[in-house]
């Protein structure tokens, strides 16, 4: 049991050290990621809107019968 916390602490310290080396942020990567998430959100919104319109249409057809 005493070995597990020690390993976790060692892993955390190595992650901290690797994060210290990567202090620079690549703006191009951030912009590309932002554009990709916008595309994904737009796609999800279109799918959700189409599903909602379809549900309303089907419900309307059922009510008219």
Does residue 32 sit in helix, strand or coil? helix
Of residues 27 and 2, more confidently modeled: 27
Mean pLDDT, residues 16-21: 59
- Neighbour-count burial for 5-39, b at 16+ CB within 10 Å, e otherwise: eeeeeeeeeeeeeeeeeeeeeeeeeeeeeeeeeee
CA-based max dimension of the chain: 71
pLDDT of res. 20: 59
Residue-number span of the structural domain to which 22 is assigned: 3-64
What is residue 14's predicted lDDT score, i.e. its pLDDT?
56
pLDDT (tens digit per residue) in 34-56: 999 999 999 999 999 999 999 99
Mean pLDDT of the chain: 82
Number of domains, the chain:
1
Q: Is the pLDDT of residue 19 over 90?
A: no
CA separation for the pair 54, 44 (Å, rounded)? 15
């Amino acid at each position: 049991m005493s070995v597990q916390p020690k390993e976790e602490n060692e892993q955390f310290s190595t992650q901290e050290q690797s994060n210290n080396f990567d202090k620079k942020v690549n703006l191009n990567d951030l912009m590309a990621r932002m554009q990709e998430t916008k595309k994904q959100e737009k796609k999800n919104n279109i799918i959700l809107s189409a599903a909602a319109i379809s549900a309303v249409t089907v419900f309307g057809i059922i009510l008219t019968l």
